[in-house]
Amino acid sequence: MDIVYIRELEVRTIIGIFDWEREQRQVVSLDLEMGSDIATAAATDTIENALDYKAVAKRLIDFIEKSEFFLVETLAERVADIVVNEFNVPWVKLRLGKPGAVTGSKDVGVIIERGSRR
């Protein structure tokens, strides 16, 4: 299995449990590793045979910007579900971070791996 990846995708959204977090957008940061067989795309040199990482990024940005979850865990699950089910990805590893959420740390968050149930 090959991996197509997106690193440090930053999106502003409503996320958090405190009142002030529900009133202002915060940055979340994503790293994605998506399982993909790139052989056909490489042989044909066409985007139609590739996992279009730009399309993935645009879809996730749109979804995350409109979301208003309390927990990063919930947002991570929904993002993984979109990648696996809408983009026909058999496996995804996702790091979703909330920079600056804990004083003294650069970033906190979750790392999850999910696969299709086919």
In the set 54, 58, 93, 98, the catalytic residue is 98
CB 103 within 8 A of CB 47: no
98 catalytic, yes or no? yes
CB 96 within 8 A of CB 103: no
> Does residue 4 come out as left (phi exceeding 0), alpha (psi in the -120 to 50 range) or beta?
beta
Q: Which residues of 65-104 are buried (b: 16+ CB within 10 A; e: fewer)?
A: eebebeebeebbbebbebbbeebebebbbbbbbbeebeee
Instruction: Cite the active site residues.
Output: 98
